[in-house]
Amino acid sequence: MVKLDMVEKWITDPDKISPEESEDEFLCNVCVAFEKRQGAAWSCLFVAAILDLVKSFSIQTFTRANFSQMFGTANISSNKKKDNLFDATPIAKYVDSVLAVIPQLINVACKMACIRAIGTRRIIEEVGRVKWNVARLSESSNHYVDLVCGRYAFIWKFLCTSAKLPTVVRQRVWEQLLAVGYTVFLEGFARVPLCTTEGRSLMSMDIASFEEGTNPMAIQEYMHEDDTPQPKKVTLHRGRRYVDTYIKVSYLPPEDVLDWIGSN
């Protein structure tokens, strides 16, 4: 469970590296905050389990037959659907609404923590610094992509080494990290004011390098260790192909671009 009185210690992010700390120390502090946020988000499942248990117990307890025995009233036969007295109470509706919203709450909280962990502002700034209105094709992707992939590897290694999050949760968090990463790249590309055809090709190359640099084997190579488990391969609904589609839309005529925007 979350200690709300301790939230102030991990709710803020370190904006940049201080003169007294190294890059690894900075990333370690980021990972510590990230792990606590994920733990806070996924602990909502414990709350849901308690509420579901209370609901099941109440449904079995608060029946007309039980009340008749408790208060000595006549046991009047009634419709089985109405025999459960708990479902008609406001607290039952509240419990149902909480159980329905908790999965969405966990998903949103997990995404927000991932957005802050990978340094989205820095990534978008790095994308903005690149000269996309180039006149010739590039032979390699931009250097900032390697830095992003290195940060992903550091986060995964920290989560596995700390082992405070269950394996299933770690894998789910990794999926969210990748999904958020592609979204951030798309946001950065969308903010580029001027871009040539060669620049669009470079964007596609960056996305391909990000996909390659975050696959299980590449993460293992970044960590330089064999004992840290690899993340499982992830298939995303809005991954590289989705971002590539946005990049290639710029080649289409204006009418087709409007049709694509309407359908997406």
pLDDT, tens digit, for every residue of 246-258? 888 877 777 777 8
What's at 193, amino acid-wise? P
Q: What is the reported pLDDT for 20?
A: 65
- pLDDT over 80 (residue 101): yes
- pLDDT over 90 (residue 147): yes
Q: What is the reported pLDDT for 5?
A: 47
- Give the tokens for residue 242: 């989705």
Q: What is the reported pLDDT for 8?
A: 46
Q: What is the reported pLDDT for 135?
A: 87
How far is residue 36's CA from residue 50's CA, in Å, rounded to a whole number? 21
Q: Which residue has the tokens 């009634």?
A: 78
Q: Which residue has the tokens 């992903």?
A: 152
How far is residue 99's CA from residue 162's CA, in Å, rounded to a whole number? 30
- State phi, psi for 238 to the nearest 5 degrees: -120, 75
- pLDDT band for position 80 (cuts 50, 70, 90): very low
Chain centroid to Cα 187, Å, comes to: 16
Q: How confident is the model over 202-208, as a mean pLDDT?
A: 94
Q: How confident is the model over 145-155, as a mean pLDDT?
A: 94
**Which range is least confidently modeled, 209-213, 218-222, 225-229, 241-245?**
225-229
Task: Share the mean pLDDT of the chain.
Answer: 81
Q: How confident is the model over 64-93, as a mean pLDDT?
A: 55
Q: What is the pTM of this model?
A: 0.80
Q: Which residue has the higher pLDDT, 55 or 3?
A: 55
Q: How confident is the model over 113-129, as a mean pLDDT?
A: 92
- Give the tokens for residue 214: 């975050």
CB 211 within 8 A of CB 239: yes
What's at 179, amino acid-wise? A
Q: What is the reported pLDDT for 70?
A: 53
Q: Which of 61, 80, 81 is nearest to 69 (CA)?
A: 61
Q: Which residue has the higher pLDDT, 122 or 1?
A: 122
Three-class secondary structure of residue 188 per DSSP:
helix
Q: What is the reported pLDDT for 227?
A: 78
**Which range is least confidently modeled, 16-30, 95-109, 128-142?**
16-30
Q: How confident is the model over 165-187, as a mean pLDDT?
A: 94
How far is residue 111's CA from residue 245's CA, in Å, rounded to a whole number? 23
Q: Which residue has the tokens 């248990």?
A: 53
pLDDT tens for each residue of 15-61: 555 666 677 788 888 899 899 999 988 988 888 888 888 777 766 66
Q: What is the reported pLDDT for 126?
A: 94
Q: Which residue has the higher pLDDT, 212 or 54?
A: 212
Q: How confident is the model over 202-215, as a mean pLDDT?
A: 94
Q: How confident is the model over 54-78, as a mean pLDDT?
A: 58
